[in-house]
Structure 1
């Protein structure tokens, strides 16, 4: 923020009808006050380089610390496998111990909760998600012990805190504003779904982080690619030649990095592939538009036929290589599930592909089996949520509930409740959805590239799920596109805030609205935090959160 210009200005006053204006006919008029008192204060506070650096680094660091506290406080409670932790925590520990996901005896959760963490079998277990996310969980378990519930969840909490950092970096680059970057990070820090998903050892937080990193890489490539493309076209024109196709740019390090990040995301869950596909298309479209702005005659053909293949080779093979690398332990473990499938009678490929090594034949068969499982998953679940209702948040996921008796876990007088509910801060979520709808209109009217990029993140994270309205899916899958909803909300907040050069009434109104929204969001997060963190509360307090019949 900068100090507004409060100096009086002069206005040219026209003479009588028919008279030519006289440049000396200048009279002082009442100055129009611009900015706000807050802008003046900020200008004074940031008047030195040291203070500007303190704001530039200090504010994001404070937001990060706050986010970490909300995610780590009392993280080991409850000391019980919560929701899908029954799969991922035990799979993570057997990955660490055996190199592959191993089976457990029936009803093993109680023994595991009680400290018997080595009761797994040598038989492999059929799993339907790649290993990377479970390896991340396993690192925390190895550091703190498999019997420590804090160790089960610490990796996920760190991932959730890092996501706040990455979102601030992306927002600062996207909006060129430390203030808006801090607002974006703060909203993610206090949002309920982001908090709850950081306090339970499941996979979706890791998908969110890796796809957000990939999004940031695409953002960094955009300006670099357009600059290099423009320089090369200008160099050709300087030689007296008019290019029709334009140059092919092979070295795009940020595209390579984006491919690696989306490959890592796919190595946690296959939903990362949606981002790979969506942003692969985005890179082609953005290149085509850049070539059109440069006046190239065959701009669309060159983007698809010349630059397109180069972009594909820079983007997709690295993602595939990283994805395959996440399965390294499967290839190295002879006893992993389906590892010996191709060596069994009647399974090996014949004909043109018989030369493919058995391990790779087995791997392809496993991937086909996983795909069949995912598209055919229609098992009823009490918290299944149709994707058509995700934006309205009609069915949040209840991950854990307990009713401690008097004198247990801080319960003073029965009835008491403890819950972990993966529900977003309602004010932040619904405001972000409203901002998304506004940005769709804004993109159609103004063609702003920032709006298009943000909406592409939402498209990649949400629209593919609309193809699976009959499949068993959950509201907490929306954590993957939550950062882009928040970026859209922050962009809208920036429009409401305006500029220090705006008239005072407009600027102060924008600051006031933003302040009220942030305070209300913070108070609402404080109200909901016990239900995100399994804190003991009276039953009546728990019921106060049943705003919709489907929420509790």
Structure 2
């Protein structure tokens, strides 16, 4: 690891403060529930009051009342919800601090958006062994339009992205931890290598267990965290086998599939299960939630007899949620901003979060010389960043598989585990903002590829040329972000100015 630990934290803090200061102005604007905020902030409000989500009447009726300061207009009935509770508890924390208003329900997203940048910096620094590359990754993520928007809206996905990346960061620390213990074992025995033996069995893996906790929390936000859990559990085990082979275990290293694999399964998957169940604690502790009485009404069911009434009710509830996600109802729904995952990595179809059209000249800040104006919030990434990252991912796959550089496996596996599962989701609507889980990993690939371009310190003119190229690319990303900023922040702009930012027909 680099020896500039204090300096690295100063860099991390400076970028985090920059990201916070960029995102907090106008956080409460627009002062209304936009897009899927019509679900999660309202769920969070009743969750904090009752321990479970209550239903609401027609949003066109109750949403204006909420904005007017009268939020207690929910139904007495329980709501059927389709995502776990943790993300909504986090939104509820903001509502508790600042009230049931747009600033309150968006503030937690801001905090976790900044935390996501911090974890990205620390993960990339650890993997690349460079504070410069870690800081570059954090800066690029700070300048991404999709991350910017998702840090300023009360949806769940920014929380999912944070917990997934935090889990992966824990596994990266565990990899170093395991290799250090192997080296200590050899040193203590006075050996140069394992000499074809398996080596020590290490059951105590605190960082791997921490990853299990983070993956459980990720699934407690959205079930998509399961795919990352499965993919990185396998990758982490492969790291163990590779470490033993490097230490001289030879063919005995493959015993790790069982000897290391079983504890790894317990420390990630098994630990994640009770953590996930714990995110439903308030639903289990109360009696009014949707399907909460299923166990009472079905005492003879096998699940009730084995698990008890509360957990059997929770299991039944999960079967209903799964049927919703995989059933015909959602597959038959159409949406204007439906974006097929095939186009996510190149930002083929951004999403419109909110729009006010046909603002007349001379009104609401619209210039008198304009034909008409509009206000929009577009869930759009910074194109130069996304396109560069897409190229970097291809290069990363080559360096990982072709050159056997383990470092590039993390962004490749991270992107694939957060992207490929969506291809099996049938004809249901899918949206570009789901890719918020992808962008930290693709930024990681891009920053490490730029690190290769930058070259090693002390490389003279080679380093200077690399610095010019990397600096120019970063400046181009910053300029691109600044150009998009009005359509990320609900600014009133002339129609022609908006159209100038819609570079492709599919963006409109």
TM-score calculated relative to the size of structure 1: 0.86
Q: Are residue 548 (structure 1) and residue 504 (structure 2) matched?
A: yes
2:97 maps to which residue?
A: 143
Asked whether the equivalents of residues 498 and 510 of structure 1 are also in contact (C-alpha less than 8 Å), the reply is yes
The structural deviation recorded for 1:507 is: 2.6
1:104 to 2:73 alignment = no
Whole-angstrom CA distance in 1 between matches of 2:482 and 2:224? 32
Partner residue, 1:356: 307
* Alignment pair present for 1:127 and 2:78: no
Look at both structures and tell me which one has the larger radius of gyration over its CA atoms: 1
By how many angstroms is 1:361 displaced? 1.2
How many Å apart are 1:112 and its aligned residue? 1.9
Per-residue deviation, residues 395-425 of structure 1 (Å, max 9, x unmatched): 1111110134445542233511111111100
In the alignment, structure 1 segments of 5+ residues that lack a partner are: 3-48
Question: Are 1:167 and 1:185, in contact at CA under 8 Å, matched by a contact in 2?
Answer: yes
Asked whether the 8 Å contact 1:386–1:469 carries over to 2, the reply is no
Aligned match of 1:496: 453
Q: Which residue of 2 aligns with 1:410?
A: 365
Counterpart contact for 1:386–1:470, Cα < 8 Å: no
Q: Could you report, residue by residue, the CA deviation over 1:102-136 in whole angstroms, capped at 9, with x for unpaired residues?
A: 01122322222222200012210000100000011
Instruction: Give SS of 1:270's match.
Output: coil
Per the TM alignment, residue 514 of structure 1 is displaced from its structure 2 partner at its CA by 1.2
User: Contact 2:194–2:249 (CA<8 Å) still a contact in 1?
Assistant: no
Question: How far apart are the structure 1 equivalents of 2:306 and 2:9?
Answer: 57
> Counterpart of 1:449?
406
Task: Pick one of 337, 341, 345 that aligns with 1:387.
Answer: 341
Whole-angstrom CA distance in 2 between matches of 1:57 and 1:230: 27
Alignment CA distance shift 1:128-1:140 (3 Å): same
Structure 1 match to 2:392 = 435
Contact persistence 2:388–2:446 (CA under 8 A): yes
Is 2:215 the partner of 1:258?
no
Q: Which residue of 2 aligns with 1:310?
A: 263
Whether contact under 8 Å (1:85, 1:201) holds in the other structure is yes
Matched, 1:519 2:472: no
2:284 counterpart residue number: 331
Matched, 1:276 2:229: yes
User: Cα 1:165–1:355, aligned 2, differ >3 Å: closer, same or farther?
Assistant: closer
Paired with 2:157 and 2:365, the residues of 1 have a C-alpha distance of 31
1:162 equivalent in alignment to 2:118: no
1:239/1:433 Cα in 2 relative to 1: closer, same or farther (>3 Å)?
Answer: closer
Distance 1:138 1:406, change over 3 A: farther
- How many matched pairs? 499
What is the CA distance between 1:454 and its match in structure 2?
2.4
In structure 2, the CA distance between the partners of 1:406 and 1:80, relative to structure 1 (3 Å rule), is farther
2:494 and 2:479 map into 1 onto residues whose CA distance is 19
Where 1:472 maps in the other structure, the secondary structure is coil
Instruction: After superposition, give the CA deviation of every residue in 1:158-192 in whole Å (9 maximum; x if it has no partner).
Output: 11111111111112222222221221111111110
Are the aligned partners of 1:233 and 1:243 in contact in 2 as well (CA < 8 Å)? no
Following superposition, the deviation at residue 56 of structure 1 comes to 3.7
* Counterpart secondary structure, 1:402: strand
Contact 2:144 2:385 in 1 (8 A): yes
Q: 1:240 to 1:263 in 2, by over 3 A?
A: closer
Q: Secondary structure, in 3 states, of the residue corresponding to 1:446?
A: coil
Q: Return closer, same or farther for 1:351/1:329 CA change in 2, 3 Å cut-off.
A: closer
CA distance in 2: counterparts of 1:289 and 1:241, whole angstroms: 13
Comparing 173-182 and 321-330, the one that deviates more: 173-182
d(CA) in 1 for partners of 2:111 and 2:81? 25
For 1:368-387, list aligned pairs within 5 A: 368-376=319-327, 377-378=330-331, 379-387=333-341
Q: CA RMSD in A?
A: 2.3
Shift of 1:261: 0.6
1:109 alignment partner, SS class: helix
> Could you tell me how far apart the structure 1 residues matched to 2:303 and 2:416 are?
39
SS at match of 1:291: helix
Give the secondary structure class of the aligned counterpart of 2:353.
strand
Aligned partner of 1:487 among 420, 444, 459: 444
The answer on 1:401 being equivalent to 2:352 is: no
- Partner residue in 2 for 1:293: 246
Q: Specify the SS of the correspondent of 1:546.
A: coil
Instruction: Name 1:7's counterpart in structure 2.
Output: none
Q: Secondary structure at the match of 2:168?
A: helix
Secondary structure in 1 matching 2:506:
coil
Structure 2 residue aligned with 1:33: none
Deviation at 1:154, TM superposition (A): 0.6
**Structure 1 residue 349: Cα displacement:** 4.4
Assess, with a 3 A threshold, how the Cα gap between structure 1 residues 265 and 239 changes in structure 2: closer, same or farther: closer
**Cα distance in structure 2, aligned partners of 1:87 and 1:241:** 57
In structure 2, distance between residues paired with 1:299 and 1:382: 56
Contact 1:199 1:533 in 2 (8 A): no
Long gaps (5+) in structure 2: none
Deviation at 1:496, TM superposition (A): 0.8
Q: 1:524 to 1:355 in 2, by over 3 A?
A: closer
2:44 to 81, 87, 92: 92
